Chain A
Amino acid sequence: MARAVRGQANLIERLDRAFNPLTVAVVGDKRALGYLWLRAMSAFQGPVYSVQIDPAELPGIQELGVTNYPRLQDIPGEIDYVVCSVPREVSPRIVADCIEKGVGAVALFTSGFAETEQEEGVQLQKKLGEMARAAGLLLIGPNCMGIYNPRLGLRHSGEQPAGEAGNAGFISQSGTHCINFSLVGHLHGIRCSKTVSFGNAEVLEASDYLEYLAQDAETEVIGLYLEGLNDGRRFFSLLRETARRKPVVVWKGGQTEAGVRAVYSHTAALTTSSAVWNAAMRQAGALQADSLDQTIDLVKALLYVRPGTGYRVGLVAMTGGQSVVISDAFVKEGLEVPLLTPASYDKLSSFFNVIGGSYRNPLDAGHTVAMGFAPANLQRLLDILDEDTNVDAVALEIGAGFLARRIRDNPAILDALTEALAAFKKRTGKPFLAIVHPAHMEEVMAQVRGRLLDRGVAAFATFQQAARALRKVIAYWRFREGID
């Protein structure tokens, strides 16, 4: 099979080999790291080899059931992907070995390079880059975690899910954010297709990975955590081109003076004023996030909320107090909360319990839905909002005070609720999401969110998070449609 792509051949094909390796080698893993990398790779579908010359480490590696070789070149057959965790002084030798072995890509977990801002590290990184570029070796990092492909069990950490495919890609200058995106995202119904932590970006930078994920059929949504860019113009034009086909969420680190200082000590990147950066992102059609939570909210909304282009939201809350603040939150985030059509009010008046409730929009539906738990009434009022021509999107609060207690006492209620909302999601053509506050029953509510996400219903923990994600996602679809 002509799978091994060597030399200066097409970058996408070479990255494809790196993101979908058949064989993996870990160089320099050791007990002091808790055999982090060999444990992470224990779920990998194909053969995993260790390269280690320290005799003291060999029994530990053997215990893990991994075959060890003294050099990469001693491993029989081809090696597609290497993780290198040796001290920095040794790294040029390992990169030379990768080149000689014809490895597809090497991720250098090793740190102590340009990020130290010291001449020795800067020069060493440059040397590795020159070696890799000359030989056509894909060098990821240094100072990074490399590639995560859950489907293949190629991981950054033993904690990450393995054996399942996903549709969200993530490209991160930081290893921490990369791992957290996969771990925290998993709790929010986000399944990764492929992620990469690329550190100091000596040979490959964010644009290279973006170009790859843009054409990757598995990846439907792309997230990025960025600190600096080597070639801003290339990134901008790639982003502008990609966002017209796939949503891209960009989380930029270093938006404040102190943040910039921290970025500088990472990458020494030139910085752009935040006004120009924000303009560039709007122009390219990227969705902007400023934290891991917001990145996850946006990816979740993109994956779970049906695309829509209107800002008018029909709101359902379970108490008077929540009706007030859900409206405030949505309007403050730039959405509209319109009055409903007369036809809707006619329909609502036929069954809505106005004692302790109201239905102007927001619908204060606690008594109508929750007190006796009447899922049929919930369906009715969601359908009214679905049919209402003044309403473009629907958001529903699931009240901790009412439902959580009932769910805790009678789990069948959660089944009925989930079914009702999943059925509505299927039925409606409008963007639809739920807000499930943790309140005082965090565990119950986390369970509710998980169940809803399992059935394809987007669930957020606060009104503000839901409103912001909805507004940004609607703005994105308007961009795609050429409305704004």
Chain B
Amino acid sequence: MSIAQLIDRARSQGRTVLTEIESKQVLEEAGILTVKARLAASAQDAVAAARELGFPAVLKIVSPDVTHKTDVGGVRLGLKSPEEVATAFDEIKAAVKRNQPDARIEGVSVQAMARPGIEVIIGMTKDPQFGPVLMFGLGGVLVEVLNDVSFRIVPLEPRDARQMVREIKGLPLLQGVRNQPPADLAALERILLRLSAFVDKHPEIEELDLNPVFAYEDGAVAVDARIVVS
């Protein structure tokens, strides 16, 4: 499905928030690498998807009504076998029904567990004066507690992406501390530039979150994603 079709479908269903799977499809169109996710309607589907995408697998609830998937028991990590995937599928559905009975459940997303990297977040919001603004920061607790983020107005030039990544106080963590390999800063800059070009072309995108992005020594991948359209 094209970006326009994906957005139209969400709108026709009365939604402005795209699911993780839809969001990732949109991002792939924008040239941003994501951890592929498949929607599974049954335990059998989930197993087939996990076989294709690889083990260990991750299963997450797909529901337009659930914002914090972990809180309702909607996420299972590190599933090593088809049996574990099938069991996890049933358990997730049961848990969400129990914890949030009125949530509409579209299914469960299946993806391969991403190899660990340095967690960063990349987002886009609309500023009342400047329009789309990109945000970059370290992921997890650091971004919340230290508010250590950088901003740039869309459209970005290569210089802007370079500065954004290097402006945060946590930069040494990306450059490699205590024998950790450094993150591929160029890959992060590429994501920022592609995202900038993409949101510049698509004013209907109101908000966008890649959280987390795993940054590796060689590349970076969006592990989870969320897009809000107008």
**Which of chain A's residues have a CB closer than 8 A to the CB of B151?**
275-276, 279-280
- Which of B129, B149, B152 is in CB contact (< 8 Å) with A283? B152
A484 to B149, CA, bound (A): 19
A305 to B76, CA, bound (A): 62
Contacting residues of chain A (219-233) with chain B, CB-CB under 8 angstroms: 229, 232-233
A484 to B131, CA, bound (A): 25
Q: Is the beta-carbon distance between A272 and B127 smaller than 8 angstroms?
A: yes
Q: Is the beta-carbon distance between A233 and B128 smaller than 8 angstroms?
A: no
User: Least Cβ distance of B58 to chain A in Å?
Assistant: 33
Q: A215-256, CB under 8 A of B: which get 1 and which 0?
A: 000000000000001001100100000000000000000000
A272-B163 CB under 8 A given contacts A236-B153, A279-B153: no
Is there a chain A Cβ closer than 8 Å to B28's Cβ? no
**Which of chain A's residues have a CB closer than 8 A to the CB of B152?**
279-280, 283
Q: Is the beta-carbon distance between B130 and A280 smaller than 8 angstroms?
A: yes
A271 to B129, CA, bound (A): 7
Q: Is the beta-carbon distance between A276 and B130 smaller than 8 angstroms?
A: yes
- Which of A276, A482, A484 is in CB contact (< 8 Å) with B127? A276
Contacting residues of chain B (135-157) with chain A, CB-CB under 8 angstroms: 149-153
User: Least Cβ distance of A159 to chain B in Å?
Assistant: 35
- Which of B130, B149, B160 is in CB contact (< 8 Å) with A272? B130
* Residue with the highest number of chain A CB atoms closer than 10 Å, among B129, B149, B150, B160: B129
User: Least Cβ distance of B68 to chain A in Å?
Assistant: 25
Residue of chain B at shortest CB distance from A231: B129
A381 to B130, CA, bound (A): 49
A236 to B155, CA, bound (A): 11
A232-B163 CB under 8 A given contacts A276-B133, A279-B150, A279-B153: no
Q: Is the beta-carbon distance between A272 and B128 smaller than 8 angstroms?
A: yes
- Which of B129, B133, B150 is in CB contact (< 8 Å) with A270? B129
Contacting residues of chain A (242-299) with chain B, CB-CB under 8 angstroms: 269-273, 275-276, 279-280, 282-283
A270 to B152, CA, bound (A): 18
**Which of chain A's residues have a CB closer than 8 A to the CB of B163?**
282-283, 484
Is there a chain A Cβ closer than 8 Å to B159's Cβ? yes
**Which of chain B's residues have a CB closer than 8 A to the CB of A271?**
128-129
- Number of chain B residues close to chain A: CB under 8 A: 14
Residue of chain B at shortest CB distance from A232: B129
Q: A283-325, CB under 8 A of B: which get 1 and which 0?
A: 1000000000000000000000000000000000000000000
User: Least Cβ distance of A324 to chain B in Å?
Assistant: 29
A270 to B126, CA, bound (A): 13
Contacting residues of chain B (74-129) with chain A, CB-CB under 8 angstroms: 127-129
Contacting residues of chain A (431-478) with chain B, CB-CB under 8 angstroms: none
* Residue with the highest number of chain A CB atoms closer than 10 Å, among B130, B131, B160: B130
Q: Is the beta-carbon distance between A232 and B127 smaller than 8 angstroms?
A: yes
Contacting residues of chain B (153-170) with chain A, CB-CB under 8 angstroms: 153, 159-160, 163
**Which of chain B's residues have a CB closer than 8 A to the CB of A233?**
129-131
Residue of chain A at shortest CB distance from B134: A279
Q: Is the beta-carbon distance between B153 and A270 smaller than 8 angstroms?
A: no
**Which of chain A's residues have a CB closer than 8 A to the CB of B130?**
232-233, 236, 272, 276, 280
A6 to B194, CA, bound (A): 44
A272 to B130, CA, bound (A): 8
Q: Which residues of A contact B (CB under 8 A)?
A: 229, 232-233, 236, 269-273, 275-276, 279-280, 282-283, 482, 484
Q: A279-B152, A280-B152, A282-B163 are in contact. List 6 more A-B contacts (CB 8 A).
A: A229-B129, A232-B131, A233-B131, A272-B128, A275-B151, A279-B133
Some 13 contacts from A to B, beta carbons below 8 A apart, are A232-B128, A232-B130, A269-B129, A270-B129, A271-B128, A272-B128, A272-B130, A276-B127, A276-B151, A279-B151, A279-B153, A283-B163, A482-B159
